[in-house]
Amino acid sequence: MSEADLEFIDNPKAQRYIKSLPYTPGVPLVSMYPHAHPLTIDLLQKMLIFDPTKRISVTEALEHPYMSPLYDPSANPPAQVPIDLDIDENISSEMIREMMWQEMLHYHPEVATTISMS
């Protein structure tokens, strides 16, 4: 990894930590997934770039040829203005965990009975 690959990291301590890690060459995705469609490999390679300023954007990923059977830009246009999620920035981590648990239970209520039975 070059110095240029770390320029986006503002925290010097984080940069030093990453530099202290041993170098490990990447494994080509095509060798990990030899039966994967070439467009799958292409999209993954573009999404798994370390530097977020060089990584494919969400819109670009959705418009990638691999996603064409699943994504219709006319049915799902990107937001034109910033979205206000109305999130309390002072919320505790415990409350966030509880909210995530409740959201998960909304979609998978069967988990609640599994957890309570064990």
Q: At what angle do helices 110-117 and 93-107 cross, to 10 degrees?
A: 110
Q: Which two tokens stand for residue 19?
A: 């530099």
pLDDT band for position 105 (cuts 50, 70, 90): very high
Residue 118 in this model has a pLDDT that exceeds 50:
no
CA 110 to chain centre: 27
End-to-end CA distance of the chain: 46
Average pLDDT, integer, range 105-112: 88
Distance CA 3, CA 13 (A): 14
Q: What is the longest distance spanned by two Cα atoms in the chain?
A: 53
**81 DSSP 8-state letter:** S
Model confidence pLDDT, tens digit, residues 78-98? 777 777 777 777 888 899 899
User: Each residue of 17-43: pLDDT tens digit?
Assistant: 999 999 888 899 999 999 999 999 999
Please report the pLDDT score of residue 110 as a whole number. Answer: 87
